[in-house]
Amino acid sequence: MIRIIFTLAMLIFASIVQAGERFITLASTTSTQNSGLYDYLLPIFTGETGIEVRVVAVGTGQAIKIARNGDADVLLVHHRPSEDAFVELGYGIERRDVMYNDFVIIGPQSDPAGVSKQTKARDGLAEIADNTALFISRGDESGTHKREKELWALSGIFPQSEWYREIGAGMGAALNMAASVDAYTLSDRGTWLSFGNKGNLALLLSGDDALFNPYGIILVNPALHPHAKTDMARRFSDWIVSDTAQKAIGAFTLHNMQLFCPNAHPMQNTDVICPSSKPRN
């Protein structure tokens, strides 16, 4: 009798532990979190699977470090060169396209540098440099900061003067500072649309192919980190590229504007009107 009671107790304890462990850790970006996408999307997944997704929202560079150290089960970020390196170095497996939006150049409505007259991001940045107009850089090795540096390189400019300020902070902080001092900055469209303290700022330049901003999902490699919850993480990865999740991403709006465009199956999404440039190979 005692043995039976002990066995039942152990089974109950095991089921409680198992139920308590039905979550995965997602290392991701502030742009996806701050836009409200995860608050909208993840409860759908949890409702269907019973798996909770706990998000660690930081810059892309920091998110990759977290995943590389095995402190996450899955990674969703937006800097393709860094994502490819993460996989090639063996830290991640099974990268998939999920969605995209675009980067935009933000600045004061008066636009003293004449950025809005340009069509190419590199030319807009060159005008900012030529006019020594104040520019706020995140300076945090996020996906946005990495793309900003790439755009400066395209313009042939490597800013180090007083008009160029690196703040080592997130997109919200960069936009807040830009609003307070009437400066220019680079933002992802989703964060810009969801940002509430726009002040005198305006969207001045968008639509350049160089501003295309894709997001990808990658599983943490269980060969390096055996504790990773690969089965549940793969279930999430499978789900986020499914028709259900892709339609939900496309339907997510703020102020009647679409923030992200699903592209796990781009040929199936040709009827989706998106605010950014078309997906490309």
Q: How confident is the model at residue 272 (pLDDT cuts 50, 70, 90)?
A: very low
Among the listed residues 221, 162, 173, the one whose alpha carbon sits nearest the alpha carbon of residue 195: 173
Q: What number of CA atoms fall less than 13 Å from residue 84's CA on the CB side?
A: 4
The predicted structure's pLDDT at residue 267: 52
The predicted structure's pLDDT at residue 268: 53
Measured CA to CA in angstroms, residue 231 lies from 68, 220, 221, 245 at distances of 18, 11, 12, 18
Biggest alpha carbon distance in the chain? 86
Q: How confident is the model at residue 226 (pLDDT cuts 50, 70, 90)?
A: very high
Euclidean distance between CA atoms 181 and 178, whole angstroms: 5
What is the residue-averaged pLDDT of the chain? Answer: 88
Summarize the confidence of residues 240-263 as an average pLDDT. 93
Among the listed residues 36, 183, 215, 196, the one whose alpha carbon sits nearest the alpha carbon of residue 105: 183
The predicted structure's pLDDT at residue 281: 33
Summarize the confidence of residues 125-146 as an average pLDDT. 94
Q: How confident is the model at residue 254 (pLDDT cuts 50, 70, 90)?
A: confident
Residue 15 scores a pLDDT above 60 = no
Asked if residue 55 lies in contact with residue 236, where contact means CB atoms within 8 angstroms, the answer is no
Q: How confident is the model at residue 265 (pLDDT cuts 50, 70, 90)?
A: confident
DSSP secondary structure string, 148-167? HHHHHHHTT----STTEEE-
| Rg, C-alpha atoms of the chain | 21
Of 77-86, 252-261, 265-274, the one with minimum mean pLDDT is 265-274
Summarize the confidence of residues 168-183 as an average pLDDT. 94
Residue 255: both structure tokens together: 């102020």
Euclidean distance between CA atoms 211 and 262, whole angstroms: 17
Measured CA to CA in angstroms, residue 165 lies from 150, 182, 183 at distances of 17, 13, 10
Percent of the chain exceeding pLDDT 90 equals: 74
Summarize the confidence of residues 205-222 as an average pLDDT. 96
Structural domains in the chain plus CATH codes: 2-100+214-268 (3.40.190.10), 102-211 (3.40.190.10)
Chain centre to alpha carbon of residue 42 = 15
Measured in residues, the chain has a length of: 281
Among the listed residues 35, 63, 17, the one whose alpha carbon sits nearest the alpha carbon of residue 258: 35
Residue 14 scores a pLDDT above 50 = no
The predicted structure's pLDDT at residue 20: 52
Residue 18 scores a pLDDT above 60 = no
